[in-house]
């Protein structure tokens, strides 16, 4: 493990908040009041759904939850701004990444990939613990994969949040689903956090290894071969996705859908999977294909990034039970936290 890239999680107990958060601005009377939920329009992600079908066809995926890919209307910018200018003007935002808690197949040591299995009791507890660690961080939007273990993790984590906003899954799989899930109270919308589910954030498709026991597979094919399938960057497991292939869809989704939200100052949480998050972290931390090999993510451990000036700054610290061990924070985070304390005490 000497060469491992150590990704520091958010510490337990206390954390810090962003003044920039639209929720904060609304709640605490900041001059530029913008309501979190206002203006969100959900569009059917037709191409995404097609993408998922073709992914399934290509890899013969048998099980995967319905793809509820939702596309939040892109943030609109003045027409002539270049991306660089936008980045410079962009406000600060928090990005939380959480790998789902332990699943029933993690417990059984089976290759899981796109198979849609739920959390174990321990996984539920991990998700709740993760929620405690991020309970003071503002969350304006949540992105999860289409798989239940990531969705359970996001929902359970949010039960611990001090603001007690309600995460609500946006259903845009059909016009009817969109209409039938409408909310008719602006106040209720303000107390909600939209949850966008996207197949592109799914675990990498493990091909013919899905459902096989990892130890038995290593015994059969050799430790080195199985390690190559599991951790090499560009060698796919039989009929599955390599990390590189997984990155193509997960990082593209991040750039196209999540980064614009961060650019507009929204604080985002992503609940996803070991390999889809490894590929996203590779992009955020500019890791090489050699470095990412050694990147391991634990289940249920949140990681925090601050997005500022177009850059992602990792704000991790070794997991620890004390405030002192918690990640560094910005003045805005600290101020948000202070206001939250005042409001809730």
Ligand X SMILES: O=C(O)[C@@H](CO)OP(=O)(O)O
Q: State the number of binding residues for ligand X (CB under 6 A).
A: 9
Which lies closer to ligand X via its Cβ, residue 116 or residue 140? 116
d(CA 99, CA 44): 26
203 classed as catalytic? yes
By beta carbon distance, the residue nearest ligand X is 112
CB contact at 8 A, 48 and 67: yes
**Least CB distance to ligand X at residue 145 (A):** 11
Single out the residue of 334, 309, 342, 343 nearest to residue 137, CA to CA. 334
Tokens of 54: 């073709």
Residue span 188-207 as binding mask against ligand X, x where in contact by CB under 6 A, dash where not: ---------------x--x-
Q: Which is closer to ligand X, CB of 101 or CB of 274? A: 274
Cβ neighbour number for residue 25 with a 10 Å cutoff: 19
d(CA 182, CA 286): 40
Write the DSSP symbol of residue 129: H
- The residue from 9, 45, 101, 113 that contacts ligand X (CB under 6 A) is 113
Judge whether 161 counts as a catalytic residue: no
Task: Name the minimum Å distance from CB 23 to ligand X.
Answer: 33
Element (H, E) at 195: strand 192-197
Question: Which residues are annotated as part of the binding site?
Answer: 99-106, 112-113, 149, 203-206, 214, 230-231, 274-275
Which residue in 70, 267, 275, 279 binds ligand X (CB under 6 A)? 275
CB nearer ligand X, residue 110 or residue 306:
110
Indicate which residue of 27, 126, 203, 241 is catalytic.
203
Piece of the chain touching ligand X by CB under 6 A; list 39-47, 105-113, 256-264, 323-331:
105-113
- Interaction mask 12-51, ligand X, x per CB under 6 A: ----------------------------------------
Residue numbers belonging to the annotated binding site for substrate: 99-106, 112-113, 149, 203-206, 214, 230-231, 274-275
CA separation, residue 164 to residues 33, 145, 171, 288 (Å): 20, 23, 22, 39
Q: String of b and e for 101-119 (b: at least 16 CB within 10 Å)?
A: bbbebbeeebbbbbbbbbb
Please tell me the distance from the alpha carbon of residue 145 to that of residue 150, in angstroms, as a whole number: 6
- Catalytic entry in 16, 100, 171, 273: 100
Of 24, 37, 59, 111, which lies in the binding site for ligand X, with binding defined by CB under 6 A? 111
Q: Other C-beta atoms within 10 Å of 165: how many? A: 18
**230 lies in the site for ligand X, by CB under 6 A:** yes
Mark out the alpha helices in 142-266 (DSSP H runs): 148-158, 175-180, 186-190, 214-221, 223-231, 243-253, 259-263
Shortest distance, CB of residue 203 to ligand X, whole angstroms?
A: 5
Q: Which is nearer to ligand X, 112 or 144 (CB)?
A: 112
Closer residue to ligand X, CB minimum distance, 111 or 143: 111
User: Considering beta carbons, is residue 7 or 16 the nearer one to ligand X?
Assistant: 7
What is the per-residue burial (b if ≥16 Cβ within 10 Å, else e) of 137-147? bbbbbbbbbbb
Provide the mask over 145-184, with x wherever binding to ligand X is found by CB under 6 A and - wherever it is not: ----------------------------------------
Parallel, antiparallel, or unpaired for β 141-144 and 192-197? parallel
Structure tokens at 122: 């321990």
112 in contact with ligand X (CB under 6 A) = yes
Q: What SS3 class is residue 303? A: strand
Query: What's the CA gap between 291 and 321, in Å, rounded?
Result: 29
Q: What is the DSSP-derived secondary structure letter of residue 308? A: E
Dist. CA 280–CA 276, nearest whole Å: 6
Options 101, 131, 265, 274; binder of ligand X; rule CB under 6 A: 274
Q: Does 131 interact with ligand X (rule: CB under 6 A)? A: no
Q: List interacting residues with ligand X (CB under 6 A).
A: 106, 111-113, 203, 206, 230, 274-275
Residues known to be catalytic:
100, 203
């Amino acid at each position: 493990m000497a060469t491992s890239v150590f990704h520091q999680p958010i510490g337990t107990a206390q954390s810090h908040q962003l003044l920039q958060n639209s929720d904060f601005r609304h709640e605490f009377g900041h001059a530029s009041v913008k309501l979190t939920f206002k203006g969100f329009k959900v569009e059917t992600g037709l191409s995404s759904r097609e993408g998922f079908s073709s992914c399934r066809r290509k890899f013969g995926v048998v099980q995967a939850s319905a793809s509820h890919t939702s596309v939040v209307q892109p943030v609109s910018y003045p027409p002539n701004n270049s991306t660089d200018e936008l980045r410079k003007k962009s406000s600060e935002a928090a990005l939380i990444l959480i790998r789902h808690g332990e699943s029933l197949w993690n417990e059984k040591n089976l290759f899981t990939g796109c198979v849609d299995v739920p959390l174990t009791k321990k996984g539920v507890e991990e998700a709740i613990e993760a929620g405690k660690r991020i309970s003071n961080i503002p969350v304006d939007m949540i992105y999860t994969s289409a798989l239940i273990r990531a969705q359970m993790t996001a929902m359970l984590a949010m039960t611990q949040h001090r603001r007690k906003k309600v995460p609500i899954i946006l259903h845009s799989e059909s016009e009817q689903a969109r209409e039938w899930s409408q909310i008719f109270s602006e106040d209720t919308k303000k107390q909600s956090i939209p949850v966008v589910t996207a197949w592109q954030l799914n675990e990498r498709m493990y091909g013919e290894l899905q459902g096989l026991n990892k130890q038995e597979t290593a015994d059969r094919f050799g430790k080195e071969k199985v390690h190559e399938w599991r951790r090499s960057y560009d060698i796919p497991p039989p009929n599955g996705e390599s990390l590189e292939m997984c990155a193509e869809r997960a990082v593209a989704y991040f750039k196209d859908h999540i980064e614009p939200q961060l650019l507009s100052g929204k604080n985002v949480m992503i609940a996803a999977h070991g390999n889809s998050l490894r590929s996203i972290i590779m992009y955020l931390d500019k890791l090489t294909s050699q470095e990412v090999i050694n990147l391991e993510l634990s289940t249920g451990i949140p990681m925090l990034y601050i997005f500022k000036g177009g850059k992602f700054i990792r704000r991790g610290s070794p997991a620890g039970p004390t405030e002192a061990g918690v990640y560094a924070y910005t003045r805005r985070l600290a101020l948000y936290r202070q206001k939250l304390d005042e409001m809730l005490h």
